[in-house]
Structure 1
Amino acid sequence: MRRELLVFIMLGLVSLFADITYEGAASIRGSYLYLIGATALIAGFLRIGEIINYLTRFLSGLIGDYYRSSRVLWMLVISGYAINVVAIPLLAFARRWELVLALVILERVGKGLRAPARDVILSEITESVGKGLGFGIHEFLDQIGAFTGPLLASLILLNTGGDYGLVFIALGVPGLVAVGLVLSSMMLHPSLKAFSSPPKRLGFKGLGKAFYIYVAGLMLMSLGLLSWDIFTYTVKSNNVAGDEIIPLFYTVAMLVDGLVAIPVGALYDKIGYASILVAPITLAGSVFFLQPSIESLFIYAGIWGFVMGVFETNVRVAVSDLVNPSQRSLGYGVFGLFYGLSLMLGGVVQGIAYTIGMEFLRSLVVVSEAISVILLLYLIIPSRRT
């Protein structure tokens, strides 16, 4: 147990240092594109990286399920974090937007490769402390990195007169630390119990009806999670806050995300799937704070961060409980694919709804969250009977 606890702590630190690298770069990518002469359209086109990210998650899940090997799973994790170390520092030498786009896509491929495999490992090593609490602590450490990265980038720019190249190179250092910690974790915990005895290959059917109902509920839940781009667009279009205030909304959201991760994860260990209900119920109530006032929007940002905390802990943990341990790699890959699709579809639908009118957008959120609750209850009620 001591060894597993050490590996758990190390993997938490891996996410912390990796997020310093990624989030630090993400915080200045847009301004860097402007510096090298790219247009706003090109900056927006970087979102294609997220599509690649979630498609790669699905591929990673398939690879893990096909080989059913602890070594392969660890190699996916190591490769994913190693790509992070390569892609971010190389941005320092990218003077054309095409190269920036290629490196962003490469970094997102790395994220997609490592995420499902890492979650499979986490779901196993956190069983002794409680998976909900374990994923919550992991998300908390992750958010520390998400805060530190942009802060580090800001300090370097401030003290070097705006040397973006130095920022990207410096951000490679915490990325290297992350790779070192992953390698150490693999040496401490090389074999996973889920692959100790190869089971029958059940494919997608082996994930079970409950898993797919859960995924459908998740997709509807995501539909009500307002795209951050839509949120900031509403702030700007309604002239609610100045440009210097807009980033503070995201700061509040990330702060709340990190603070709630541990308690909501611990709640999962006590009441299971029922703890996820707090996300759609909260989202349904959040529409009342989508008002053209700075106070209401700061409250909404806090709610958004709270729901993200639930998504990044309890929603992920539930996948490991809905499928057999041997199917977790495939389960997390399928989960990642549909989650990514729901976020992309949600952004489009929300944009159309907002164009029609704010009341229509509010109605969309309430209806989608209500149906999500119904689907989740399908999972919760049987589990209460057993």
Structure 2
Amino acid sequence: MERPGHGRTGRLQESPQARPAGEPGIRRRPLWGAVVGFGLVSLATDMVSDGARPLGGPLLAQLGASALLVGLVTGAAEAASQGLRLVFGPWADRTGKYWTFTMAGYALTVVCVPLLAVTPLVGSLGLVLAAALIIGDRVGKAVRSPAKTVLLAAVAGPAGRGRGFAVHKSLDLAGALLGPLLVSAVLVATGSLPAAFAVLVVPSVTALTILVWLRRRIQDPGADSATADAGPAGSPAPGAVPSGEEAAGRPATVFSSVFILFAVAAFLWSAGLVAFGVISYHLTADVAVPVSVVPLLYAGAMGAAAVGALASGVLYDRAGAAVLLSLPVLIAGVPVLALAPTAGLVLAGVLVWGAATGIQDSTVKALVADLVPQPRRGTAYGVFAAFEGAGALVGGALYGSLYGALPVLIGTVAALQTAALVLLLVTLHRARPSAGRGSAKGRT
């Protein structure tokens, strides 16, 4: 049996509490190394997943799908990505096998996406197969995401979770930028969608190779790391945002009222954040943008997402969770711009969509980690993602059904985001009644 606090290689995995006072730099390099390692895996995997993502709408359209079907498939894919975490998050917590779920989820993505290359070649079954593979890619994300996020939260905590998640997300988004550039180059050279999907085999193999290497150096966080993260007598980590229950002297649980309020807000903003498949359908069907250009626009969105993630992460650690109030505001502007009839406005909408996505996928997770004790974070991420997934499914149907009635769609999204903003304000007030600063307050 391994000694507490030691990984598979015997290397000390130090908690924030183990760091001597006045020596904030101790073990900082190995901890950042783990964050960067996870980021490199995400970089390669997102070259695969996000390289294919902007082509999902055009591929489905080429195979005979309508705007409504594109909205339902992409919405169902996002719903699977988020909602199934409700199953896999608690499962990972119960078994403690975070690495098993992480590796299985990555493997599913890197198998499903390259197989999209064969969908135009199988006749009438192509549309069904493409829909299944697009959803399968996102199921892989559901399998790995809660477990991977628990691993990341554990290694990023001492350096500041806002910054840790932001750095990881920036590397993740570098892959989300490089993948579309790669498939765009293949499309320009060959004009073939199958070839564009097939080339993604290369980053698929790279992702699995890095993941296996990383697995041998970082252990699953078990009871020992949970104790270290919680501190003496189950106290929260330094700087963690106290929930209303904790402030009142009651123990916090995953289903605390402040957590549920935050999750309902996530449902509302997810219902308003259109899947990129609908935007790419709009670009090719109604704005007459060449298919080869769509991945370049998506790459630009990922650049905006990286900026959004880094900026919000730094502000989260320095000024507090109030930075998340910008999220509903950004989302409310997406349908106004991204579904406009002119390419210039659509480009602006794509960049706004990217910035909102970056905040949602990074800094939002940092607040979840600060609201919930480590032993329940897998469950918490699963529950939280289920709310986001339900919102994504509603949003897919909403955008698909109201695609031809843009003013109604804009008004509906604005109403959803107004409600989300109100709930976020209540959440932040109850999470920190003193309206104090974020999780980095008091860190050196």
> Same fold by TM-score, threshold 0.5 exceeded?
yes
**1:223–1:107 distance in 2 versus 1, CA, 3 Å:** closer
Counterpart secondary structure, 1:242: coil
**1:51–1:365 distance in 2 versus 1, CA, 3 Å:** closer
Number of the residue aligned with 1:182: 211
Q: How many residues align?
A: 374
Number of the residue aligned with 1:309: 358
2:312 is aligned, of 260, 264, 267, to: 264
1:147-173 Cα distance to aligned partner (Å, 9 max, x none): 2222222334555x4566555444222
Deviation at 1:323, TM superposition (A): 1.2
1:173-218 Cα distance to aligned partner (Å, 9 max, x none): 2222212222222222214156646999xxx964311110101112
Larger CA deviation: 291-300 vs 326-335: 291-300
Q: How does 1:10-21 map to 2 (within 5 A)?
A: 10-21=37-48
Number of the residue aligned with 2:393: 344
Check if 1:371 corresponds to 2:401. Answer: no
CA distance in 2, matches of 1:285, 1:162: 33
Unaligned runs of 5+ in 1: none
Deviation at 1:268, TM superposition (A): 0.9
Check if 1:242 corresponds to 2:288. Answer: yes
Number of the residue aligned with 1:154: 184
CA distance in 1, matches of 2:59, 2:340: 33
**1:83–1:249 distance in 2 versus 1, CA, 3 Å:** closer
8 Å CA contact 1:90, 1:103 repeated in 2:
yes
Number of the residue aligned with 1:253: 301
2:258 is aligned, of 210, 225, 237, to: 210
CA distance in 1, matches of 2:55, 2:349: 25
Larger CA deviation: 90-99 vs 252-261: 90-99
Deviation at 1:28, TM superposition (A): 4.5
Deviation at 1:277, TM superposition (A): 0.5
8 Å CA contact 1:4, 1:189 repeated in 2:
no
Structure-2-length-normalised TM-score: 0.73
Deviation at 1:243, TM superposition (A): 2.2
Q: How does 1:132-171 map to 2 (within 5 A)?
A: 132-159=162-189, 161-162=190-191, 167-171=196-200
CA distance in 2, matches of 1:158, 1:236: 16
1:57 is aligned, of 85, 93, 99, to: 85
**1:351–1:80 distance in 2 versus 1, CA, 3 Å:** closer
Deviation at 1:366, TM superposition (A): 3.1
Number of the residue aligned with 2:249: none
**1:223–1:141 distance in 2 versus 1, CA, 3 Å:** same
Number of the residue aligned with 1:25: 52
Check if 1:84 corresponds to 2:132. Answer: no
CA distance in 2, matches of 1:287, 1:163: 30
Counterpart secondary structure, 2:159: coil
Q: Identity of paired residues, percent? A: 29
Larger CA deviation: 174-183 vs 217-226: 217-226
CA distance in 2, matches of 1:150, 1:13: 17
> Quick check: which one's helix share is greater?
1
1:216-260 Cα distance to aligned partner (Å, 9 max, x none): 1122223333454555677788x6x43239836544433211222
8 Å CA contact 1:207, 1:323 repeated in 2:
no
CA distance in 1, matches of 2:112, 2:167: 27
Check if 1:224 corresponds to 2:253. Answer: no
Counterpart amino acid of 1:212?
A: I
8 Å CA contact 2:267, 2:389 repeated in 1:
no
Unaligned runs of 5+ in 2: 1-26, 235-251, 437-444
**RMSD over aligned Cα, in angstroms?**
3.4
2:149 is aligned, of 86, 108, 119, to: 119
